[in-house]
Each structure stands twice: as structure tokens, then as C-alpha cells.
Amino acid sequence: MIPGFITQNSPALLIMVPLIAAFLCPFIGKISAAARNIWAVGAMALTSAIAFLLAFDVYSAGTRVYVFGASAINLAVPLDSGGIPIRIIFTVDAMSALMQIIAATVGFAVILYSVSSERSHSGIESYYTLYLLMIAGVMGMVSTGDLFNFFVFLEILSISSAALIAYRIDKGTAVEAALKYFVLSTIGAMVILIAIGIYYGEYNALNIAVIASRMQFTLLDQIALVLVMAALAMKCGSVPMHFWTPDAYSMAPASITAMLVVASQASLYGLFRVLFTLYNVTMNAATVGWIIITLGVLSMVIGVTMAIPQKDVKRLMAYHAVSQTGYMLLGVGVGLAVLGNQSLMDAFGYMAMEGGIFHIVNHAMYKGLLFLTAGAIFLRIGTRNLNKMGGLGHNMKYTMIFFIIGALAIAGIPPFNGFASKLMIYESVFAFNPILSIIAMVVSILTLASFVKVFHSIFMGPKLPEYENVKEAPAPMLIGMAILACIVIAFGLFPQQVVDTLIVPAAHALVNQGAYISAVLGGA
Amino acid sequence: MLWNIPFIAMVAITLIGLAIVLFKRNLIKIFLGINIFEAAVNLFLITLGYREGGIAPIYTNAPSQEMVMATPQALTLTSIVIGVATSALLLSFAIIIWKKYGTIETDKIRRLKE
């Protein structure tokens, strides 16, 4: 049914399609606006289809290794190279496939939403170009098996997202936010490049599998670990390096904010990849695990307490995003802290990691949904200030329903997906350390309190005279939101099936360093 | 200790770049600090690629089949290109900030907080 060369080359096509589509977009835009929209949506749909195809492949047949330019696509180590992979290699395991599914789903929902949310703006060609570049960056970051490529895709992602944050100049404030984000991410990327240089100097390799198999954990490796952890924790917006998040998330167009959530999670993926695949048990996993847990708890508490007094709806949601990132760090950090101890791993370590990884998926869906609803409200009434809103529930019924779904999911109320992953985190973290679990629950309650307030001030109350004739958001925006809302509900109703099919393989792929190495180097 | 001089220089240049980013108020100076930082990283990569007595991988010129693999040089080139893109975007931000705010001093660019 599907031609063989597509299945065979899907890791390459996953990057190629959005890249080519991105750079052709300005030319297609010369023809007509409709052609450009069809082109962008079509390219994104194709990318999503390839991502799902590849993910299905990986989940059914195991890790895919794709070697660019080799005589056979999985010939990672040429016979005459002396046992070193010299070509560019993509390694797509279950964790990468999971991230691709997230990026494909949110990316598709967001581009449908953008078709009408950006309609009245100028320069849409560049918007779609940058958007597709962002998709290419995320896809590349999560599928590459090579540290330097990781850096390159990270830079593609930062440059395109910085340009998109500044896309609506808005009296200069958006540029100010983008500037902050971009200066930080450039320095972060350079710090990562220093760490990559250290690895290369020590092990003469850039391939993650080769470095992992040679890892000694010397003093230099410890320095490199600190550099990478600091830079990637900054990129995923965890406290104490979170200060760019509220600015960037609130000033970007809503559709881009939803993608920025996915971009932060790609950085989170990079962090987990480095910790689990590159170092695994060679480092002192308990200490590093506790550092990650501390970052997570700080993010949860500080994020939610900063969110409560905010008056800008998107700024408030951005602080909640910081707080939710804390849950993922907490879950996976607990798994990391007991790494290497098989009995503890079986007792609660795997479950904590599955909870953390499941929360990544859920967070991308409900947070994306919430930002999209905020964008729909902004499109119709032109303000993000909560004090100036009120009574919108009369006119924007569908948006209100989607907002309720997203808000209940983020607060961890059954039957929505946030509940499923938070319950896994509570249970397993309680077995590790009850206090952490109690903190997580309190943060969840505060999140609910905050969203009850937001819901009340946006939608409840009598119709305000100035919003008498507010219309419902246009259909493509509602469809984009509906896709995410359906996933939020489906994942909440059938969490066990999702965990078994998607999350468990991903968590095991992260923990099992040996399988990753042997997939690339063969046999070893 | 003589062979460590490039590494010491790299650390020194990194610190200079970071100090400029942290302590200068002018946006253009901050961008220059970032560029200096990038230069330090490039210097680091190039230093790693140096092999004493190695033969440059130019096939028509090499006396034997033993040649140095040019990976760090390739990395440095890529990193320079990325640096150019970064600088271009940063400077275009500075232009817009200048147009909208009339200043490029960071302590006066504070509309976001209001």
C-alpha cells in the first residue's frame, strides 16, 4: 500500500518534507493566498503522516537506525572505518517516536488553527516558513543519534521560534520577549557546543551510542554533564532559569505558544537522552536524580505561586507551564534516582518514569489546547487582561467547553488525561518520598484554584456591553482545538491502553542504554 | 604546559564574552559579547582537531592513505554559519527595538513588565 522507499527512508523524509516545504512557501505565496494555505497545511499533514508511519514502525519493529549516504540504510559502521560510525546517523527509538507523535499531532492542530487565526496579518508566507522550520527542528532534535546534529537542530529551532515570538511586533514588546529568549538560547546552545567539544576531545566521536559505550565519567565528563544539564534545563523552562518562559509564551501568537510548549519538551527530551542514554549508571545517578527532583519541585511550587497573581491570561498559563514541567522532571528524576537498583526500579522507578513521560504527552495536548483557547479569546476581544474580560460564555460556547476540558485536565481532575499521569506520579513518588508526593498534590490543588478564577473571570457573569456582539471563533480554529480536546478526553478515558502501547516502551527505551548502543554499533 | 595555551585562551575568551553579556547595557555590545563567546567555542573545536604531525585530508596531496579526519573543522564551519544567522537575527531585533523604543539600553527596554 505504502511504497517501500517511503517506509525505508521515513527518518530522512521527516526532516526533508518540512524543510523543502518551508523554503518553497514564499514562492507558492506569490501565486495566491489559498494555494499557500493548502501548501502549508498539506506539507504539515504529510509530515505528520510520515511521523505516524515511522512511529508505528518503531513501536512494532524496534529501534530504527538510519544512516545518511551509506550503501545500505542501516549500515552504521562501515567495514573500513575501524569500528567508528563516520556518517550522519538518525537513531529513532520508542522515546523519539513518542516525541515525534506529539510534535506531529500538535503541529497539525496548530497549523489548522493558524489558517484562520493569522488570516488578517501580513507576511504569512514567512510565518509558515518559520513554522515549518520549527517542525523540522523539533523532529530533527528528537530523532538524531549524533550530538552535533542535536546542536544544529536546536539552533534551527531557536532561530525560527525566536523569529516567530517576535512575529507580531506589538509596539516592540514581542521583540523584547524574543530578544530575551534568543540571547539565552544562543548562550545555552554555545554551552552545549562546549560540552560536545569536550566529548569529542575525550572519545573522538560525536555519535551518542559510541560516546555512551566509551563513557568513563571522568572530571571532564562531569563538567560536560553540568554544562548540558544547565543549558537544557534552561531551554525547557525549569526554575531557576524560567524567566524567559512567561515573556516568550505570552508575547508569541497563541498558535506559536502551543508549538513552543512542544519545543520546550524537545529540550526536555534532549536532557533525558543525555542523562539516560549518554551517562546512565556510569554517573552517580542518585545525586543527579536528586538534582533533577529539586529542579522539578522548585518549578512546580514557584511556577504555580507566580501564576496565581497574574492578570494576563497567557502569562498565567505560561507560569502554569513552568509548574507542569516540574511534574515531568519530578517523575523522571525519581526514576533516575533509583536507576541501577533493579528491585526499586520495578517497585516504583519505572512507574515514576512512565508517569513523567506520560505527563509530557498530556501536557503538550492540554497546554496546547489552553493556549489555543486563549488565542481565540484574544482574536475576538483584543485583550489578554483578565480584569477586562467577562461574560464571554454567552457568545463563545465552544471555546468555553474546550477551555473547561483543558483546565480540568491541567488540574488533574478525572476523567481527563492530566489525572491519569498525575496519579501515576503521585503513587510512585509516594513510595519514594511521601513529602514530594504531598507537594505535588498541593500544587495540583493550587492549579485548580487558579484556573477556577480564570474561568470565572473570562466566561461567567452577565454579558458585558462592549462584548455584546462577540462572535464564536472561526471553524478552522475550533477544529484545531477539537483535535487536541478529543485526544485529552481519549487519553483520559483509556489511560491504561495508552500507557501500555506508547509510554512503557518509551520509558524502557530510555532506561535500557545497552539496547540503544547495540542498535547502532551492532551486537556489542 | 605550552600545549595548553589554546585551551587557557579559550576559557579566558569565554569569560570575557560572558562578562560582556552580563555587565554591558548596550544591546550591540551584548551581541558582540555573544560573538566573542562563539569565537571562543570555535577556537576550542579547532584546537581539538589539531593532530601533531598529522596530514591534511587533501587526497591529491597526501603522501599516504593515513590522513586526519576533518570532523572538528567541519563542525567549526557549521558553527560559524549558525553564528552568522544568529547575529543577523539579533541585529534585526536591535533595529526594531531602536525604532519602537528609541533606545538600545537594556535598562530602558522594560515595557514587558508593565
Chain A residue numbers with beta carbons less than 8 Å from the beta carbon of B68 are: none
Nearest CA in chain B to A187: B34
Q: What is the DSSP string of A238-257?
A: -TTS-THHHHHHHHS-HHHH
B112·A155 Cβ contact <8 A: no
Whether the pLDDT of residue A459 is over 50: the answer is: yes
B-chain residues within 8 Å CB-CB of A171?
100, 111
- Give the pLDDT confidence score for residue A103 in this predicted structure: 95
Q: Tell me the torsion sign for CA atoms A102, A105, A111, A114.
A: negative
- The pLDDT assigned to A524 comes to 45
Q: Find residue A64's DSSP bridge partners.
A: A92
Report the mean per-residue pLDDT for chain A.
90
Q: Do A176 and B27 touch (CB under 8 A)?
A: no
Distance (Å) of CA A72 to CA A8, A16, A65 = 11, 19, 11
| CA separation for the pair A489, A485 (Å, rounded) | 6
Q: Does A202 touch chain B (CB under 8 A)?
A: no
Answer yes or no: do A187 and B27 touch at CB < 8 A.
no
Residue A389 grid coordinates: 474580560
pLDDT at res. A1: 66
Residue A186 pLDDT > 50:
yes
Query: What is the mean pLDDT of the segment spanning B76-80?
Result: 94
Q: Is the pLDDT of residue A452 over 80?
A: yes
pLDDT of residue A257: 94
How far away is chain B from the Cα of A241, in angstroms, using its nearest Cα? 15
What number is the average pLDDT over the span A241-265? Answer: 92
Is pLDDT of A263 > 70? yes
For the segment B58-62, the average pLDDT, to the nearest whole number, is 78
Residue A303 cell numbers, joined: 511556577
Strands (E), A101-150: none
Right CATH for B2-108 from 3.50.50.60, 2.40.420.20, 1.10.1050.10, 1.10.287.3510 = 1.10.287.3510
Task: Nearest chain B residue to A84 by CA: give it.
Answer: B69
- Which residues have a Cβ under 8 Å from the Cβ of A203 and sit 6 or more positions away? A210, A211, A214, A215
Band of pLDDT at residue A25, cut at 50, 70 and 90: very high
∠ Cα B67 B71 B75 (to 5°): 150
Rounded to the nearest angstrom, the minimum Cα separation between A151 and chain B is 9
The grid cell for A217 is: 565519567
d(CA A58, CA A406): 30
Inter-chain contact A194–B44, Cβ cutoff 8 Å? yes
* pLDDT score of B113 more than 70: no
Give tens-digit pLDDT for A288-301: 999 999 999 999 99
Q: Summarize pLDDT for B6-37 with one digit per residue, the tens.
A: 899 999 999 999 999 999 999 999 999 999 99
> Are A148 and B89 inside 8 Å of each other by CB?
no
Look up cell 505527563; give the residue. A359
Beta-bridge partner residues of A91: A65
pTM recorded for the entire structure:
0.94
Write the residue in A163, A175, A186 that is nearest to B97 by C-beta.
A175
Q: Would an 8 Å CB–CB cutoff place B93 in contact with chain A?
A: yes
Q: Residues B66-85: what's their mean pLDDT?
A: 90
Query: Looking at this predicted complex, what is its ipTM?
Result: 0.94
Say yes or no: A183 contacts chain B, CB-CB below 8 A.
yes
pLDDT, one tens digit per residue, over A35-84 is 999 999 999 999 999 999 999 999 998 888 888 887 777 777 777 666 77
Asked if B90 lies within 8 A of A186 by C-beta distance, the reply is: yes
d(CA B106, CA B98): 11
Give me the half-sphere count of Cα atoms (radius 13 Å) on the Cβ side of residue B112. Answer: 26
**Residue A134 pLDDT > 90, yes or no?**
yes
How far is residue A246's CA from residue A254's CA, in Å, rounded to a whole number?
13
Contacts across the A-B interface (CB distance below 8 Å): 83
pLDDT at A523: 56
Q: What is the mean pLDDT of residues A171-184?
A: 91
User: Measured between CB atoms, does A166 come within 8 Å of chain B?
Assistant: yes
SS (H, E, C) A271-300: HHHHHHHHHHHHCCHHHHHHHHHHHHHHHH
Q: Is the pLDDT of residue A498 over 60?
A: yes
Is the per-residue pLDDT at A231 higher than 90? yes
User: Looking at A207-221, A247-261, A309-323, B100-114, which range is the least confident one?
Assistant: B100-114
Q: Stretch A132-148: mean pLDDT, rounded?
A: 94
- Which candidate, B17, B80, B47, B73, places its Cα nearest to that of A152? B80
Q: Tens of pLDDT along A393-421?
A: 888 889 999 999 999 999 988 889 999 99
Chain B, nearest residue to A199 by Cα = B48
Would you list the domain boundaries of chain B?
Answer: 2-108
Q: Distances from the Cα of A187 to the Cαs of A159, A392, B24, in angstroms?
A: 13, 42, 15
Query: Any chain B CB within 8 A of the CB of A186?
Result: yes
Nearest to A159 among B71, B89, B99 (CB): B89
pLDDT tens digits, residue range A306-339?
Answer: 999 988 999 999 999 999 999 999 999 999 999 8
Per-residue confidence (pLDDT) for residue A92, from 0 to 100: 92
- Considering only CB atoms, which chain B residues are within 8 Å of A193? 41, 45, 79
Q: CB of B22 within 8 Å of any CB in chain A?
A: no
- pLDDT tier for residue A179 given thresholds of 50, 70 and 90: very high
Under 8 Å between Cβ of A234 and A163: no
